[in-house]
Structures are given as C-alpha cells and as structure tokens.
Amino acid sequence: MEDEAKTKVQLIMELRERVAELEKDQAERKRAEEVLRNSEKRYRSLVETSSDWLWEIDAQGHYTFVSSRAHEIFGFAPEEVVGHTPFDLMPGEEARRVGAIFAEIAAERRPFSLLENVNLHRDGRRVVLETSGVPVFGPDGEFAGYRGMDRDITECKRAEEALRESEARYRLLAENAMDVIWTVGMDMRLTYISPSVTRLLGFTVEEAMARTMRQAYTEAAYEKAMQILAEEIALESEGRHDPNRTRMLELELVHKDGKIVPVEGNFCFIRDPTGKAIGLLAIARDITERKGAEEERRRLEERLQRAEKMEALGTLAGGVAHDLNNVLGVVVGYSELLLLKVTDESDAVKSHVSEILKAGERAAAMVQDLLTLTRRGVRSKKVLNLNDIVMECQNSPEFAKISSYHPDIRVKTNLEAGLPNISGSDVHLGKSLLNLLTNAAEAMPAGGTLAVKTSNLYLDKPISGYEEVSEGDYVVLSVSDTGEGISPADLKRLFEPFYTKKVMGRSGTGLGLSVVWGTLKDHHGYINIESEQGKGSTFTLYFPVTREEMSPEQVSVSVSEYTGRGEAILVVDDVVEQRNLSTAMLTKLNYSVMSVSSGEEALEYLKQHQVDLVLLDMIMDPGMDGLDTYSGILKIHPRQKAIIVSGFAETKRVAKAQALGAGAYLKKPYSLEELGLTVRKELDRPARPALSKE
C-alpha cells in the first residue's frame, strides 16, 4: 500500500512537470507564432509599400508572387501577372534579347543585378525597369526559381536621354562654333578647348591643350587677364560675386606662327551643385576684321579731318591772298612802269625801284604759295615729264644753294627711263620738289643721303597709307633722307600752314610742305609718308599719268607783238589803286582806256558806249561780282569780249563766266607782258556768239 501510494504521488509529480513543460512549449510556440506574424506583417508592409516591384518566379520562369506595386508600374493587378513569365510583358525583340541573357544566368544559377529591360504598360507605353535577383533552392538543394525586385527607371532614362541630347546639342555648338570655347580648372589648366582653336590660332586641339595659359596670351594680355580673374576670385571668396555675372574684355592671343590675334572674350565661373566655383568657362571671338575696320574708320576720319582743316585753311589763305594781291599788284606794276621811265643805269632811283620790284615779286611768290593751299592755284597746265622737272630742279641755283648749305649730304638720283607724262604746272611741281629737298636736307644736320627717285606704277587696287591711293596708272616721285625722322604727333600736322619745327625767318615761312600738299591736290595726286625717328623719312608722291603728247615750248615774243592799236578797253575794278595801275599799264601799251569802280557803273557806261574789251575784276565788294556783271553786259552787247581778272584763285564762277563767252583768266599780280599778251590774244580772237543766260 505504501509502495502503491508512493507510486501514485510520483506519477502525479511527473504529470505536473509534463503539464508545465507543455504549457511552456505552448507559450513558446505562441511567442514564436507572434514573432512570425509580426515578421510577416513587417515583411508584407515592406513589400507592399516598397517603391520597387518585388517578385518570385519558379524554376520554369513563371511568376508565383508579385507585389502590389506591379499595378502602378504596369497597370496590371498582381493576380493578372502571376502565372506569366517576365518576357510576356516585353516587346518581341526586347523579350528575345533579355530572355537570352536570363537563360545564361539561370543556367549558372547565379545572382544578377541592374539588368535593364523594356516592358509594356497596359496602355501601351514603354516602361524601363532595372532588375536584380537571387536564385532560390529547395530543402534538398534543388533549384526552385528566382526571387528579386524591379525598379522603375523610366523617368531616370528619360532624363539621361534628355541630358545626352542636351550634351550633344551643346557639343555640336561647341565643335562647330566660330568662336573658341574652352574651360579651365581653378589651377588654370585647360580641361577642354573647341576645334575652332585651329582656325583661330593654328594649333590642333592636342597642341592647344598642351599649352599653358601664359603661352596662349601675350605677356600684357596674360597680366591683364590674371588681374581681372584675381578680382573676381576675391569677390567670390568674400561672397559678393554675382553668379550670373560674366566679364567681357579685349585681349591678344598668340598664333602658332607668332602673329598677334586680337579677341573679344568673356568668362564666367563653372560651379558644382553646391554653388562652389570649380573652374572657368571662356569664349573668345576673333575681332581682327572689326579692329581693322575700326582702324580704317579712324584713318578715314583722320584723313577727312585733315582734308577739312586744309580746305578751311586754304579758303582763309585764299581770301588773304586776294587782298594782298591787290596791294602787291600796285607795288609790282608801278615799279615796272617806273623802271621803264628811268633809263639811266647809274641813277640810284632805278636801283631803288629795282629792289622794290624784287621785293614785290618775292612777296607775290609767297602769296602764290598761299593760293596753292586753295587747291585751285594752278592757272594752266601742260604735258610734262617728271624727269625733266627733277633735272631742272637739280641744275637750278636754288638747289645749288641747298647743296652749299649742307656739304655733308650725298645726293642720289634714280630716274626711270621712258617715264610716262603727267599734266600739270612745271612751276608748281618744281617748287614743291625744292621744298621737299630743302626739308630732307635740313632733317640731316650731321649729313647723310638724300635720294630722289621716279618710277611708273600701276595699282590694280587701292593702297592705304597717309592717304588712300586709288587704283590707276601713276608716275611716282619719292624723296628720301636718312635724317632724324618725324614723330607721330608732328606727322598729323605736317602739312598745316605755318606749322614748323624750324626757326621762323631762318628756314622759311612754314609754308613749304603746305605748298606740296596744295600742289599735289591740284594735280589730283596722292601722298604717302614713311618715317621712323632716328632713321629717316620718305615722301612718296603719286601723279596720274596722261596719254597726251608734249607740245613744243612757246618762244618769247617782242613787246611790239602785244602792244595795242588804240582799241578801247573798259577796266572794271573796285580797288582804286589796282584800277589806276591797270589803266596806266594799258595806256602804256597804246590802248584807249576807261575805268569804273563797280559792275553797276560798268553796265551804265556800256548802255551809252561800246568798247573792244572789258578787263573785269571777278570779286567786287559790295555789289555785283564779275559773273553777274558779265551776264548783264551780254544783255546789252551779246558779243562783248572780256577778260576775267582776280587776285583770288580760279573759282566755279570764273568758269561760268568763261562758259558765257569771257576769254582768258588773268591772275593778279600780273606783269606788263602778261597783261599785254592776254589782252592782245583776246582781241585777236574771232568773235563768237555768247550765251544769252547762265
């Protein structure tokens, strides 16, 4: 009994222990189930909320599980996808391409990642996925399929494509731009340069990339660029730089052949996503043509200003010369008349009058220089050969005087044989050449070489220098020296009247080169000057060629051939001294002379009288001038002969008077011989019908 009771107690205890173990196991199982449920809940939550599409496929490649994200990506519900293969959702060609890749992967039972593939949405649009997966094996190690996920990268691919297109467009622009585009890091090393660098600087892209920025620029341009860059970097470091700001500047780059290429450049900072400057983008445009055009415009403006200034000075000089000629005409004319009366060579009066006449003639020559500035100073032109002018000049007393003043100067003459002729005035051309020779000699106080050269030159296109020389056939005269040269400042004012570096009164009047300028313009020519200080100067004059032949020289005539035969002459001049002088000279030449002081008086006189010739002053102030007076005379006497006289240079109104029928143009001051020859020629000319109106 006791043993039986003991056995029962033991059994109860074992049962209690077993129950406790069972209760413990049940609690553990419940906890495990709870953990599993929570785990499954978390996993499902992750699967369902993941932005990626999660899937499982079996060994035959069919979907056995698809997350709900499939609906958002493809438009299909998960249950519509399960049972299909991934390739059922792809276009035909893409399905074959991806299927072949996946077959190789599955055969090796290896994981894969980032496999791009194109799928079709339910509505037909294309969806690009990026697929990753790992193989799944059964309990016995058998291959059971794949588990993985797909990520929708459609927008990313669109962005990449847009970026590629954008890069392609910009690269196309950069590769074909006329401007040179380059980038540099903050260490100033090139990171890119466009192919247009070859056209601009002659370097290949590879050669240009191997060069430093210092080598690319001239020294001055490099220093300028670095200074501006330093300013910009300082602003950047201080946080005061405008990120949208670009700097524009003109610089000089060095071509492969060493020449300088002017460019207009701008640059801006290249920034990373945080806004930090990491380099520079620069663009350079070749402005060689623009700079050339600007320089040409500057030269043209300078020439225009120079021409306008000379025109204004010439007009002023011409006006002054007109008044002086009236005075000098009296001095010279009466001196000549007095000399005719004083026959005793030993008479001191004759010597004094001769000196007065010489002084008057010298003054008249100076006035003629002033008239030359008006560019209408040549009264008559004839066919000339420039070689003859040069030889006459070198054999003249004036040139001998220059040589005696400058004994250390060696003169070289090189005259082209068979030189074509020009049309002009030998007096003006000879004087201009003497002026050039004088200036050249005085530019070599320590001696040197003075070279005179003539040549024939045909220009098929204009050449630019001090002036622009038009195309054409020219006879060229050059005068060179090895002297002090001319400064750029002096060169601009070289031909202005009275502008001189010489001592006034010792080396001339300051009109020498002004006369050269006026003479050249009057001969429709051009001038060019080349000068370097310390090395000398060359004046080159271009004269248009004429195809006319030279006429025989006119022989001198005796006084008897230009004396009058008692013809009646009316002198019309507003200056009483000039009027009286003309009357006295014509009376001396055996003419019957009447004089009046204005055009109005002339018309009144001719209404009552007839004369053989009218000696008519062109400029009369106030009142009618010579043209108006002659027009009025023709209404009274339609065939009236007349000679136009003026102390001013020949004008268009003189030409109009001659077109109406007036004869020669006689410029004051004139000698007794000039007056006599001109009057005689006009009187002997056959009468011709005059126009009845201007």
Q: Which of 546, 581, 612 marks a domain boundary?
A: 546
CATH of the domain at 530: 3.30.565.10
Q: Give the model confidence (pLDDT) of 606-640 as tens digits.
A: 999 999 999 999 888 788 999 999 999 999 999 99
Mark whether 531 and 427 lie in a shared domain. Answer: yes
- Overall number of domains in the chain: 6
On whether both 308 and 188 belong to a single domain, the answer is no
Q: What is the pLDDT of residue 568?
A: 95
The CATH number of residue 341's host domain is 1.10.287
pLDDT digits (tens, 9 = 90+) for 163-175: 787 777 767 666 6
pTM of the predicted model, to two decimals? Answer: 0.42
Domain-located, residue 168: no
For residues 420 and 540, state if they share a domain: yes
Chain segment 28-63, per-residue pLDDT in tens? 767 766 655 555 555 555 455 556 888 999 999 999
Do residues 147 and 103 both lie within one domain?
A: yes
pLDDT higher than 60, residue 375: no
Contact between 45 and 25 (Cβ < 8 Å): no
Q: Which residue has the higher pLDDT, 102 or 311?
A: 102
Question: What local confidence, expressed as pLDDT, does residue 176 receive?
Answer: 64
Give yes or no for residue 574 having a pLDDT over 80: yes
The pLDDT value given to residue 503: 45
Q: For residue 1, what are the contacts with CB-CB under 8 A and spacing of at least 6?
A: none
pLDDT band at 554 (very low <50, low <70, confident <90, very high): very low
Residues of the chain with pLDDT > 90: what percent? 22
pLDDT band at 311 (very low <50, low <70, confident <90, very high): low
Is residue 646 predicted with pLDDT exceeding 70?
A: yes
Range 342-366 average pLDDT: 72
Which of 247-251, 275-279, 648-652, 675-679 is predicted with the least confidence, judged by mean pLDDT?
648-652
Flag whether 22 is in a domain.
yes
Q: How confident is the model at residue 694 (pLDDT cuts 50, 70, 90)?
A: very low
Can you list the alpha helix ranges (DSSP code H) found in 637-671? 652-660
The predicted model gives 517-529 an average pLDDT of: 84
Decide which of 1 and 451 is more confident.
451
Which residues touch 588 (CB under 8 Å, ≥6 apart)? 337, 340, 672
Query: What count of other Cβ atoms lies within 10 Å of the Cβ of residue 79?
Result: 9
Segment 5-27 mean pLDDT: 71
Q: Which residue has the higher pLDDT, 62 or 512?
A: 62
Residue 549: pLDDT over 90? no
Q: Is residue 166 situated within a structural domain?
A: no
* CATH of residue 195: 3.30.450.20
Are both 647 and 666 inside the same structural domain? yes
Q: At what angle do helices 426-442 and 397-405 cross, to 10 degrees?
A: 0
The 10s digit of each residue's pLDDT in 78-91 is 899 999 999 998 99
Same domain, 564 and 678: yes
Instruction: Specify the pLDDT at position 570.
Output: 96
Question: Are 398 and 513 in the same domain?
Answer: yes
pLDDT at residue 112 tops 60: yes
* Domain region containing 619: 559-684
Query: In this structure, are 430 and 417 located in the same domain?
Result: yes
427 and 491 share one domain: yes
Any residues with CB less than 8 A from the CB of 43 and at least 6 apart, and which?
Answer: none
Instruction: Work out the widest C-alpha separation in the chain, in whole angstroms.
Output: 207
Read off the pLDDT band of 377 (50, 70, 90).
very low
Q: Do 575 and 676 have their domain in common?
A: yes
Predicted confidence band of residue 365 (pLDDT cuts 50, 70, 90): low
Based on the fold, state whether residues 382 and 334 are members of the same structural domain: no
| Residue 630 counted as domain residue | yes
- Can you state the angle between helices 397-405 and 386-394, rounded to 10 degrees? 60
Based on the fold, state whether residues 6 and 108 are members of the same structural domain.
no
Q: What is the CATH number of the domain that holds 678?
A: 3.40.50.2300
In a domain, 163, yes or no: no
Residue 619 lies in a domain: yes
643, 626 in Cβ contact below 8 A? no
- Of 131, 158, 185, the residue at which a domain comes to its end is 158
pLDDT tens digit string along 454-504? 998 877 778 877 778 888 889 999 999 998 888 877 776 676 665 565 544
Burial of 242 (0-12, 13-18, 19+ CB in 10 A): exposed
Tokens of 279: 């380099």
517: in domain: yes
The answer as to whether 407 is a domain residue is yes
The residue from 269, 286, 303 where one domain ends is 286
